Amino acid sequence: MKAVLTGAALLLAAGAATAQDVHEGRVLYERHCATCHGLDADGQGPMAPALVLQPVDLTELALNNSGVFPVARVVMRIDGRDPLVSHGSPMPVYAELFAGDDTAVKAETGQPIMTTRAIADLLEYLRTLQK
């Protein structure tokens, strides 16, 4: 059991060290998210008026979660484990697009959550935008 926990800790440490590239996260955001959420991540993208549910202001994720960035919720919303229906169909799920290069990030609870490097990069970029 101790070996399993040590291995998980090493995986988390290695993933955290290699998977958080803010610049790459910004590139991914601009390419895949800005259309709905806006270049400023304020929920005012050019597609927002066509959506039944308006995109959230991604700069207020921590503010709206008692000051804690909701890592697990954001990861699961992006990869489709926590789907959201907006304009009659689900929010685009990027798990398949961002597949491969698995890594772990630390959720707000301290628990590791498995994701991909691309989602971890996007997550790190979104953290930089918090008010």
pLDDT, greater one: 23 or 11: 23
Structure tokens at 115: 């994701």
User: At residue 17, does pLDDT exceed 50?
Assistant: no
Q: What is the pLDDT of residues 69-94, one digit of tens each?
A: 999 999 999 988 887 765 555 667 77
Amino acid at 40: D
Compute CA distances 59 → 50, 62, 72, 131, whole Å. 21, 8, 16, 6
- Asked if residues 38 and 58 have their Cβ atoms less than 8 Å apart, the reply is no
Residues of the chain with pLDDT > 90, as a percent, come to 62
Q: How many domains does the chain have?
A: 1
Residue-range definition of the domain harbouring residue 26: 2-128
Query: What is the pLDDT, as a whole number, of residue 114?
Result: 94
Query: What is the pLDDT, as a whole number, of residue 40?
Result: 98
Structure tokens at 34: 């800005």
- Asked if residues 62 and 53 have their Cβ atoms less than 8 Å apart, the reply is no
Q: What is the CATH number of the domain that holds 67?
A: 1.10.760
User: At residue 112, does pLDDT exceed 80?
Assistant: yes
